[in-house]
Amino acid sequence: MTAKRIRVLLADDHALVRQGFRRILEDEPDIVVAGEASGGAEAIELERSLSPDVVVMDLAMPEINGLHAAIEMLRRRPECRVLMLSMHADQQYVRNALDAGVKGYILKNALETDLTRAVRVLAGGGQFLSPELSELAIRSLRGADGIDPDDAFSRLSAREIQVLRLIALGKSNKEIATILSLSANTVAVHRTNLMNTLGVHKTAELVLLAVKKGLVESK
C-alpha cells in the first residue's frame, strides 16, 4: 500500500521561484504540490478549497502579504500549518509570524537544506525554524534586545494587525473594507481602536509604527 503523500500549497508572486520550490519538493517521493498561488488572496482561496497539509508561503507578497494571508487562513481553519519563507532574519518579522500562529519560518538562503525537512516536520504536527533563527526567536519571546513582549503592539488582535498593515500601505477605509470583507464602519472602529491601544493620534504615526514592527518595508 502506497503511503499518503504530504500535500503542499505553494504561494509566491514570482512564477520562477514557485517552479524552484516545486522542483525541490517534488524530488521527494512523499511530497506532492497540490496547488500554486501567485498572491495572498489566491492563496487564501486555494487553502480553503484544497485543505493542504502544509502551506509554503513567501512573506513578502504585494497587497496581501504572507503574514496577512496566514492570519486569514488560521482564522478560518486553525489547524492549518503554515511555513513562512523570507529573506528577513530580523526578530520582529519572526515574532510577528509566530504570534500569528505560523508553525515554521525559514530563510530563503537555506531552502535547499531546510525546505523539505520543514515541510515534513510541520505535516507531522511540529514546529520548525531555520537553525540561525531559533535562538533569535527565544530571545525575542523573552523580551531581549529591547523588545518588551507586553508592549501595546503585542495586545493587538490578528484583525487589528491586518488593518494596521493596510493603513500603512496607504489604503482607505473603503479599500480595506473590500480587501478584508468588512464594512467601512467596522474598519473605522478598528482604526480608532488601533490609535487608542497604541497611544497615537495621526495616521502617519501608525505608518511609522507598522514599519518599525516589520509589517511593511520602508521605502
The predicted structure's pLDDT at residue 135: 58
Task: Tell me which of 171 and 141 has the higher pLDDT.
Answer: 171
Give the confidence band of 133 by pLDDT, cuts at 50, 70, 90.
confident
Looking up cell 488582535 gives 157
Question: How far apart are alpha carbons 38 and 36 in whole angstroms?
Answer: 7
In order of start, what are the domains of the chain with their CATH numbers? Answer: 6-141 (3.40.50.2300), 152-212 (1.10.10.10)
Read off the pLDDT band of 144 (50, 70, 90): very low
pTM of the model: 0.68
Cell of 151: 508592549
Residue 199: per-residue pLDDT? 85
pLDDT, one tens digit per residue, over 58-83 is 998 877 889 999 999 998 999 999 99
What's the pLDDT score for residue 165?
85
Q: How far apart are CA 12 and CA 66, in angstroms?
A: 9
Mean pLDDT of the chain: 84
**Type and span of the H or E element at 33:** strand 31-37
Give the tens place of pLDDT for each residue, 84-98: 998 877 777 888 888
Exposure on the CB side of residue 186, measured as CA atoms within 13 A: 12
Stretch among 104-108, 145-149, 170-174, 197-201 having the lowest mean pLDDT: 145-149
**Is the CB of residue 88 less than 8 Å from the CB of residue 65?**
no
